[in-house]
Amino acid sequence: MARVAFSKLNVSIAEFALHHSDIEESLRLYFSPNAPTFGARFFGDLIEEVNEKLEQRLAEIDMASALTVLSALEAAFRIDYLQRCYRKEKDPLSRAFRDLHKRKQTRVRLETEIFDAWKENTDVEAKLIGDLRSAFKFRHWLAHGRYWEPKFGREYDFVTVYGLAASVLSSFPLLGPSAEMP
């Protein structure tokens, strides 16, 4: 079995939340009349126009940050999958993953094969797995350029995705270096 070399560059979701907050605060300051460049940057703009630009930037940062959190969550699941294959433990999930690895190796599908194995071989709440599948539809929409009208069944933003990640990381006993929470 050829092993994947882990980069150890995983995104810490908790640390990224601080990064997201720093970016939001920086944007708010940048678009504030207190910013040293405000007068030159927004010369001739009405305050409503400046506020609209700020809201657009904040919305973009929100989506980019949600994408990063979901990517980190995917990495945590993929690392767990590989660790369970490499460690050859005897629990039902590890056995299911090894069977899957024999057929698919690293080309395993997260939303179907990995999540299905968790659902079938553990007592993790099925609703949480459904929430993950739904959130990853949002991730695909973001990652593929948002060119179609999405139908997620709910609204997603950074706070929603971060909350889901916190629930998942505290409910799933993931192996290996995962995106840790505070």
**CA 131 distance to own-chain centroid:** 13
Structure confidence at residue 3 (pLDDT): 86
* Residue indicated by tokens 């305050």: 47
Note the pLDDT of residue 177: 63
From the list 166, 173, 73, the residue with the least C-alpha distance to 121 is 173
Of 5-14, 61-70, 135-144, 167-176, give the lowest mean pLDDT range: 5-14
- Judged against a pLDDT cut of 60, whether residue 180 lies above it is answered with no
Task: Classify residue 86: in a domain, yes or no.
Answer: yes
Report if residue 179 sits inside a domain: no
Tokens of 182: 């505070």
Q: What DSSP character marks residue 5?
A: P
Residue 108 belongs to a domain: yes
Q: Band the pLDDT of 55: cuts 50, 70, 90.
A: very high
Residue 170, token pair as written in the block: 């505290």
Within a domain: 94: yes
Residue 45, in any domain of the structure: yes
Name the band, by pLDDT with cuts 50, 70 and 90, for residue 12: confident
Residues of the chain above pLDDT 90, percent: 85
Prediction pTM value: 0.91
What Cα–Cα distance (Å) separates residue 57 from each residue in 24, 27, 134? 9, 8, 25
Average pLDDT over residues 8-17: 87
Amino acid present at 148: W
| 81, part of any domain | yes
State the Cα–Cα distance between residues 60 and 55, nearest whole angstrom: 9
Is 5 part of any domain? no
Q: Over the stretch 87-142, which tens digit does the pLDDT of each residue have? A: 999 999 999 999 999 999 999 999 999 999 999 999 999 999 999 999 999 999 99
Which residue from 126, 125, 117, 128 is spatially nearest to 92, judged by alpha carbons? 117
Residue 168 dihedral angles phi and psi, to the nearest 5°? -65, -50
Domain count, the chain: 1
Residue ranges making up the domain that contains 138:
15-171
Q: Over range 71-77, report the average pLDDT.
A: 95
Asked whether residue 10 is assigned to any structural domain, the reply reads no
